[in-house]
Amino acid sequence: MQRLINYLKGTRVELSYVNWPTKKQTRNYTLLVVGISLLVAAFLGFFDRLFTFLLQTFIL
């Protein structure tokens, strides 16, 4: 049990060294990730539709 307590104390000390982002930075990075994810999804969706159309038109 003492090992667990020491581990948790050490973890708390290490977490105090972390440079946490501000709320504004967190919001901006979240919006950036969501935006890039939507762009990649649109890009992949476009090419999926294109290749599906081409396959149906020329092969099937």
**32 within domain boundaries:** yes
Q: Is residue 59 part of a domain?
A: yes
Predicted structure pTM score: 0.69
Instruction: Count up the domains in the chain and report the number.
Output: 1
Q: Which amino acid is at 32?
A: L
pLDDT value, residue 60: 72
Domain that holds residue 50: 22-60
Q: Please, what are the averages of pLDDT over each run of 10 residues along the chain (60 residues)?
A: 96 96 98 99 99 92
Q: Is the residue at 39 inside a domain?
A: yes
Cα 22 to Cα 7, 19, 26, 28, 29, distances in angstroms: 27, 9, 6, 10, 11
Is there a domain that residue 48 lies in? yes
Alpha-carbon distance of 2 to 25, in angstroms, equals 38
Please report the pLDDT score of residue 59 as a whole number. 86
Query: Would you say residue 55 lies in a domain?
Result: yes
SS3 content of the chain, % helix, strand, coil (to 5): 85, 0, 15
